[in-house]
């Protein structure tokens, strides 16, 4: 009998539901700061979703592929993270390293002759990812790549 009463309730027309949703959205967007909040929440959700699904911490560097690869290898060496393998992938290379129980994967892809995309993941298993280690590898790599550039500039100036 209770089920019968629920199914016999008058249903709200679809047009009325759409109108209510549009009015609510219009009110939210007209309030100061709400548009920025909605945008920030959406952006944060996308970034989080990207990391959850790929497990990668991405970064684009304004350095050539070779310089970026050398910087990654030096950073891993300084951090005492041994490289297990280097293999070619589509448009670049993947460096695999081991640090304790963590497997670290560094993807390098050449975007242009002077721009390289770097994506680092550090994970123990599918559910246990170490974002801080991935970020530190990127931070070290950027610093080393910048230093390599300034060293080359100093050598050029010394030759002149």
| C-beta of residue 46 within 8 angstroms of C-beta of residue 109 | no
In the chain, count of helices (H) and strands (E)? 5, 5
pTM of this prediction? 0.62
What does the pLDDT read at residue 150?
65
What does the pLDDT read at residue 21?
63
Quote the CA–CA distance of 142 and 78 in Å, as a whole number: 14
What does the pLDDT read at residue 5?
47
What does the pLDDT read at residue 25?
60
Residue listed under structure tokens 């005492």:
80
Quote the CA–CA distance of 23 and 20 in Å, as a whole number: 5
Query: Which stretches of the chain drop beneath a pLDDT of 50?
Result: 1-6, 9, 45-53, 157-158
Residue 122, helix vs strand vs coil: strand
Q: Could you give the domains of the chain? A: 14-48 (no CATH), 56-159 (3.30.310.80)
What does the pLDDT read at residue 123?
92
Contacts of 35 (CB under 8 A, 6+ apart): 29
């Amino acid at each position: 009998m209770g089920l019968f009463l629920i199914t016999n309730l008058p249903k709200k027309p679809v047009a009325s539901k759409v109108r209510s949703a549009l009015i609510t959205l219009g009110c939210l967007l007209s309030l100061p700061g709400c548009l920025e909040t909605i945008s920030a929440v959406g952006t944060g959700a996308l970034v989080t979703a990207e990391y959850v699904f790929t497990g990668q911490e991405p970064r684009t560097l304004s350095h050539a592929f070779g310089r970026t690869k050398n910087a990654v290898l030096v950073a891993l060496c300084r951090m005492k993270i041994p490289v297990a393998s280097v293999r070619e992938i589509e448009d670049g290379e993947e460096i695999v390293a081991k640090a304790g129980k963590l497997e670290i994967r560094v993807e390098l892809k050449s975007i242009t002759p002077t721009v390289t995309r770097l994506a680092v993941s550090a994970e123990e298993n599918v559910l246990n990812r170490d974002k801080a280690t991935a970020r530190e590898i990127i931070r070290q790599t950027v610093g080393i790549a910048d230093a390599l550039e300034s060293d080359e500039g100093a050598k050029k100036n010394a030759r002149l």
